[in-house]
Structure 1
Amino acid sequence: MIEVNGLTKRYGAVTAVHDLTFTVRPGHVTGFLGPNGAGKSTTLRMILGLNRPTAGAATIDGRPFARHRAGLRHVGALLDAADVHGGRSAAAHLRALAAGNGLPRRRVSEVLEEVGLAAVARRRIGGFSLGMRQRLGIAAALLGDPPVLMFDEPINGLDPEGVRWVRGLFRRLAAEGRTVLVSSHLMSEMENTADRLVVIGRGELIAEESLAAFAARGAGASVTVRTPDPAELAAVLALEGATVRTDGGDALTVTGVDASRIGELAHQRRIMLHALAPRAASLEEAFMELTADRADHQADVRTGVRPDRRAEALAGGAR
């Protein structure tokens, strides 16, 4: 289990993370979401002891990561797939990690096989594609067979087959009772991967709940109705306080009134319905609505650098 309590990180006058508190429990894939510059990577680095917090604390199974001996046996993490020595082979890179954490050499071949890199184990990493480097980073995270796993933007560079594979991997790890935290800014990916969400913006907590509960916060829920009398039904629904959009022909899109009430009103007025289909708000719609005032888009455009990275660079603390 990962516990974050009052975590704060400042770089001079810039606050990258502010009083952040959340818990990631075992048995679920938890998505860690936020716009670019929200402080996700900074938070992960503090959890792993790579950045020292200005205030607050983060623990893994009740202790700071630094107090876990042979860290890969307790926590596996992929933060930056490019942060490897390009002159080493994949096998040599993993053997060095295994030796430093007291792990048996057989784990190297096992994880290379699991991530689909066994055939290129002796190739230099410098010749790997981004997708292959991502797989190697995942192999490193799995090396110690840890109960807690953290991944930062793990699908970058993966082809469609790789994306499907990594989704299945995360679900399997969670089903085994492990704690799985996946950081991403891709809403579509979280819809296909996560059970629960921790959502932040400008370093502050926005939500900590199930994916379904978060999506339900969005105002994008609607009902599609098909009827041979669209004008009459639209007039009835307008009196009920609904917002009605005519989609051409016999179709209406209705917001502000749920499907059951639309059916009741149509029945009362003897209006025939050919279709009545509720549409829930998407995760992306909810995310955009709830983070609209928490994204530092202006800074992204002006500098081309993610705001949390810019804060680190200004303070001389870039990773």
Structure 2
Amino acid sequence: MIEVNGLTKRYGGTTAVKDLTFTVHPGRVTGFLGPNGAGKSTTLRMILGLHEPSSGTVTVGGRPFRERPRGLRQVGSLLDAHDVHGGRTAMAHLSALAAGNRIPRRRVEEVLREVGLVKAARRRIGGFSLGMKQRLGIASALLGDPPVLIFDEPLNGLDPEGVRWVRDLFRRLAAEGRTVFVSSHLMSEMEHTADQLVVIGRGELIAAESLAEFSARGTRSCVMVGSSALPALEPLLTAEGATVRREDGLLAVTGLTAARIGEITQRHGIPVHHLSARASSLEEAFMELTADSAQYLAGGTR
């Protein structure tokens, strides 16, 4: 478990992270989202003890990470796939990490096999593609078989097969009871992978909730209604304060719940053959709910 309480980080007159409080629970994949410049990387580095907070606390498994000897047995992380010595081989890189954390040598071969780098194990890392470096970074994170795993943009450079492999890997790790915390800008992948979300903007918390709850907060969440009497139903719904639009032969209704729409149609004797809630996509909800927190905007200035 990762517990963040009142976490703040200032650089001179700039506050990169402000009073963040959230918990990342085991047994779930938790996505960490935010616009560019939101403070995600700074937060991850404070969790790992690489940056000292200006105030607040962060613990992993009940203790600050810096207090844990042989850290790879407690937390595995991938923050920057390029942060490796290009002159070393993949085998040498992982072997050095294993030796420093008292991890058995056989584990190096196991993780190389798991990430699909056995054939490249004795090649120099400087010749690796970005996707191969991502796989090596994931291997490094898995090396100590830790209960907590943290990944920053792990999908960059991966081909579709690699993306699917990572998605399945994260789900398997969470199913094993591990804490999996993943920062990514790929909303479509987070929509297929994450169970929970932590969303920040300008260093402050916007949401810490399930993916379904966050998506439902978008104004594009609606109830789809099908009826043979749509012309009669539409003014009844707008009279109740709903916003109604036609979409593929149905009414897309915002501002009323499905239960309330059912009551209205029943009261007025209007037949209904379709009634379903449709949440905003994660991307739609994210763009809407973080609009005021975006540091860089295309097409204009704020």
TM-score tier by shorter-chain length is over 0.9
Residue 309 of structure 1: aligned partner:
none
Answering whether residue 259 of structure 2 is matched by residue 288 of structure 1, we say no
Residue 219 of structure 1: aligned partner:
219
Q: Deviations over 1:142-169 (max 9, x none)?
A: 0111111100011111111111111111
**Superposed displacement of residue 274, structure 1:** 4.3
**Superposed displacement of residue 270, structure 1:** 4.2
**Superposed displacement of residue 176, structure 1:** 1.4
Q: Distance in 1 between matches of 2:264 and 2:63?
A: 58
**Superposed displacement of residue 8, structure 1:** 1.2
Residue 100 of structure 1: aligned partner:
100
TM-score (norm 2): 0.92
1:28-47 map, 5 Å: 28-47=28-47
Q: Deviations over 1:270-311 (max 9, x none)?
A: 444443332122222322222111111159x99xxxxxxxxx
> What is the DSSP-based 3-state SS (H/G/I as helix, E as strand, rest coil) of the residue aligned with 2:87?
coil
Q: Which amino acid aligns with 2:253?
A: V
Which is further off, 166-175 or 143-152? 166-175
Q: Deviations over 1:77-112 (max 9, x none)?
A: 000001111121111111111111121111111000
Cα distance change of structure 1 residues 275 and 61 upon mapping to structure 2, 3 Å threshold: closer
**Superposed displacement of residue 138, structure 1:** 0.3
Residue 27 of structure 1: aligned partner:
27
Q: Distance in 1 between matches of 2:215 and 2:247?
A: 24
Q: Which amino acid aligns with 2:104?
A: P
Residue 259 of structure 1: aligned partner:
258
Cα distance change of structure 1 residues 150 and 276 upon mapping to structure 2, 3 Å threshold: same
Q: Which runs of 5+ in 1 are unaligned?
A: 303-319
Q: Distance in 2 between matches of 1:286 and 1:298?
A: 17
Q: Distance in 2 between matches of 1:147 and 1:293?
A: 36
Q: Distance in 1 between matches of 2:109 and 2:29?
A: 26
> What is the DSSP-based 3-state SS (H/G/I as helix, E as strand, rest coil) of the residue aligned with 1:114?
helix
Which is further off, 178-187 or 34-43? 178-187
**In percent, how many aligned pairs have the same letter?**
71
Residue 205 of structure 1: aligned partner:
205
Q: Distance in 2 between matches of 1:298 and 1:215?
A: 22
Residue 157 of structure 2: aligned partner:
157
Residue 11 of structure 2: aligned partner:
11
Cα distance change of structure 1 residues 25 and 259 upon mapping to structure 2, 3 Å threshold: closer
Residue 312 of structure 1: aligned partner:
none
Residue 67 of structure 1: aligned partner:
67
Cα distance change of structure 1 residues 116 and 268 upon mapping to structure 2, 3 Å threshold: same
> What is the DSSP-based 3-state SS (H/G/I as helix, E as strand, rest coil) of the residue aligned with 2:164?
helix
Q: Distance in 2 between matches of 1:246 and 1:298?
A: 31
**Superposed displacement of residue 16, structure 1:** 0.5
1:181-196 map, 5 Å: 181-196=181-196
Q: Which runs of 5+ in 2 are unaligned?
A: none
Residue 139 of structure 1: aligned partner:
139
Cα distance change of structure 1 residues 298 and 257 upon mapping to structure 2, 3 Å threshold: closer
**Superposed displacement of residue 24, structure 1:** 1.5
Q: Deviations over 1:181-231 (max 9, x none)?
A: 111222222221112111111111112222222222222221233334432
Q: Distance in 2 between matches of 1:31 and 1:140?
A: 20
Which is further off, 267-276 or 136-145? 267-276
Q: Deviations over 1:3-35 (max 9, x none)?
A: 222211111111111111222122221111111
Residue 310 of structure 1: aligned partner:
none
**Superposed displacement of residue 267, structure 1:** 4.2
> What is the DSSP-based 3-state SS (H/G/I as helix, E as strand, rest coil) of the residue aligned with 1:297?
coil
TM-score (norm 1): 0.87
Residue 246 of structure 2: aligned partner:
246
**Superposed displacement of residue 243, structure 1:** 1.3
> What is the DSSP-based 3-state SS (H/G/I as helix, E as strand, rest coil) of the residue aligned with 1:35?
coil
Q: Which amino acid aligns with 1:224?
A: M
> What is the DSSP-based 3-state SS (H/G/I as helix, E as strand, rest coil) of the residue aligned with 2:292?
coil
Q: Distance in 2 between matches of 1:177 and 1:258?
A: 35
Answering whether residue 86 of structure 2 is matched by residue 78 of structure 1, we say no
Q: Distance in 2 between matches of 1:237 and 1:22?
A: 39
Answering whether residue 142 of structure 2 is matched by residue 148 of structure 1, we say no
